[in-house]
Amino acid sequence: MRALSALAALVVVLGAIGPARAAPATLRICADPNNLPFSNDRQQGFENQIANLVATDLGETPSYFWWAQRRGFVRNTLKAGKCDVWPGVASRLDMLTTTKPYYRSSYVFVSRGGAPAAIDSFDDPRLRRLTIGVQMVGNDANNTPPAHALARRGMTSNVRGFMLYGDYRRPSPPAAIVDAVAHGQVDIALVWGPLAGYFAARETPPLTVTPVKAVADGAWPMQFDISMGVRKGDTALRDRLDAALSRERGRIDAILDAYHVPRPALTRAASGH
């Protein structure tokens, strides 16, 4: 009788507690811990904000695996099974399966104020009289599109290179090229749009950001559609991310606006996979 009473009491207690709830699913995000305005380990970058927004939309908790965005990033993150989604990659990147793009940006000219007219073309004759900062990768065959565009026109002696990855011991290492314009070390610089827009707006006074007018220069594109990447063939996760990105379109645009990301219109061809 006592055993039955104890069992009845246990049933009452369990009923009051209710069924156990499963732990919320986690969206595991691959990101660089020192790469503003894109991401950092304090989650201050716009890609952090967008990834967190998407995770919330999916009813999942965002978690981060931090790895410097250098050679071998995909091998050490997605392929190693440490994380499942890499925000901010070029659409249709061969080594990944990518979502539909959620923004498009371009290379831009960054200059100090007071110029008679903003430069927006590699063929502007004023460029030959200026010291030009340009982002460099290091291996000439893999250099940034603006570096190739200047070299095609014989502009090399007046070009100063800034390594794309910068000095990783310092906060926001790629910002050095924008600082060089602000401090008069170069007259003008060619910089990837999101990086330029964010840091140019933070200079005193703010710098002028002018998108490169041409969509491409020869074989070198000056604009890129940007997506989220997942492991090759993971179409199920890609489709879920696509749905969330579509639902959160307005909030994503607001985040990009807040970070001063230059955005030409998305191409119609980029709307599919």
Query: Does the pLDDT of residue 17 top 70, yes or no?
Result: no
The pairing of strands 132-136 and 159-163 is parallel
Query: Does the pLDDT of residue 52 top 90, yes or no?
Result: yes
- Residue 148 near residue 220, CB atoms below 8 Å: yes
Instruction: Assess whether 32 and 61 both reside in one domain.
Output: yes
Share of the chain above pLDDT 90, in %: 77
Q: Please report whether residue 123 resides in a domain.
A: yes
Residue closest to 144 by CA, chosen among 189, 99, 184: 189
Q: How far is 77 from 84, CA to CA, in rounded Å?
A: 8
The pairing of strands 223-230 and 97-98 is antiparallel
Residue 6 binned pLDDT confidence (cut-offs 50, 70, 90): very low
- Residue 109 near residue 118, CB atoms below 8 Å: yes
> What local confidence, expressed as pLDDT, does residue 148 receive?
95
Instruction: Assess whether 119 and 207 both reside in one domain.
Output: yes
Instruction: Assess whether 205 and 230 both reside in one domain.
Output: no
Total domain count, the chain = 2
H-type alpha helices, the chain: 2-17, 46-57, 73-76, 145-152, 176-182, 193-202, 235-247, 249-258
pLDDT in tens, 188-240: 999 999 999 999 999 999 999 999 999 999 999 999 999 999 999 999 999 99
- Residue 109 near residue 181, CB atoms below 8 Å: no
Instruction: Assess whether 207 and 257 both reside in one domain.
Output: no
The residue-averaged pLDDT of 5-30 equals 55
> What local confidence, expressed as pLDDT, does residue 226 receive?
98
Q: Please report whether residue 18 resides in a domain.
A: no
Global pTM reads 0.87
CATH for 120 = 3.40.190.10
- Residue 191 DSSP SS3: strand
Domain of 216?
106-221
Query: Does the pLDDT of residue 164 top 70, yes or no?
Result: yes
- Residue 11 DSSP SS3: helix
